[in-house]
Structure 1
C-alpha cells in the first residue's frame, strides 16, 4: 500500500515513524528479499532481491517527492485555505493514535481499491472473468428475474380482468 500511495502513507504513517521504526522497516524489506532468494535456491537471487527492493524503495521515494511537489504547488495556489490533512507540525501521536491512523490508512486504501481508483491494478481482468463470479448470486439473480417477470405477467392479467369487470359493470 505504501508503494501504491506513498503520499497518503507518509501523511498517515510515515511521518510519525521513529528512526528505529524506519530502520526496522528497511531491515524487514531486506530480510524478505533474502528469504525469497533462499527459497529460489541461490545466493545470487538474494542479491537480486536486495537490489530489486532497493530499486523499489527509490521508486517509492521518487513518487512520494513528485506527489509532495504537486501538493505543495496546489497549496501555494490555495494559500487562504487551511491545511486539512492529518499532518500537524509539532504534534506527536500516541501509540493508540498511531494505530488509529494506520487503520484509517488501510481503510482508505481498501475503499480506493473497491472504488476502482487503484491505478496499478487492471480491474477489467477481474470484472470480465467469469471464473470470479459468485455462482450463487448469479443463479439467485436469474431466479429473481424469472419471478419478477412472472409477477409482472400476473399483474397485467389482473389489470385486464379488472378492466373487463369494470366494463361489464358499466353496461
Structure 2
C-alpha cells in the first residue's frame, strides 16, 4: 500500500487526528508524562525548522500556532466522540460506566502496550480498507486506472467473456430442444 510506505497518512499523529478517541483508548491513556511532553515538543518543533517564512522565525511561529490550533481541534473532537459514546452506552446499558479499554489505574506492560498499538494500527488500516475513513477521498483512487490490479482486471474480463459464451451455448441448446419438440 502506497500510503503506508510513502506517506504520512498512517503516521501516529495523522491517525490520532482522524480518530482521537480510538487513539486515546488504545494508546494515549497509557502514555507517560515524558512521552506526552516529547510529543508536544515534537509538534512544536516539527516542521518549524524546515519551513521558515520570509522573516525566518515567522514560519516557526505560524507552525506553532497551527499545531496548537490543530491540537485543540483534536481534543474537541475527542471530547465530542467520548460524549457520544458515553451517551450511547448509557442508553444501551443503563447505569454501567462507559470508559476506555483499561481499568482505572491499570498500567499495561510494555508488551501489552505494543499489542494495543498494533491493534490500533490494524483497526485504522481496516477502517481505511472498508471505506470508513471520512477524511479520505476514495473516488480519486476508485476512478484511477493506475491503481487497478491488471491481473484481476484481465481475469474479470476473461470470466465475463466465457460467461457470455456459456450463456450463448445454453440459449442454443434451449432453442434446439424447443425445435425438436
Q: Taking structure 1 as the reference length, what is the TM-score of the superposition?
A: 0.80
Alignment of 1:20 with 2:34, yes or no, is: yes
Moved >6 Å (runs of 4+): none
- Greater Cα offset, 39-48 or 20-29: 39-48
* Distance in 2 separating the partners of 1:96 and 1:40: 47
Q: Is the 8 A contact 2:90 2:96 kept in 1?
A: no
Distance 1:97 1:155 in 2: 59
RMSD: 2.9
Q: Is the 8 A contact 2:21 2:82 kept in 1?
A: yes
**Structure with the greater alpha carbon radius of gyration:** 1
Deviates more, 1:106-115 or 1:132-141: 132-141
Q: 2:64 & 2:102 partners in 1: Cα distance?
A: 32
2:86–2:98 contact (8 Å) kept in structure 1? no
**Structure 1 gap segments, 5+ residues each:** none
> How far apart are the structure 1 equivalents of 2:78 and 2:140?
28
TM-score normalised by structure 2 residue count: 0.76
1:151 is matched with which residue: 157, 162, 166? 166
User: Relative CO higher for 1 or 2, CA cutoff 8 Å, sep ≥ 6?
Assistant: 1
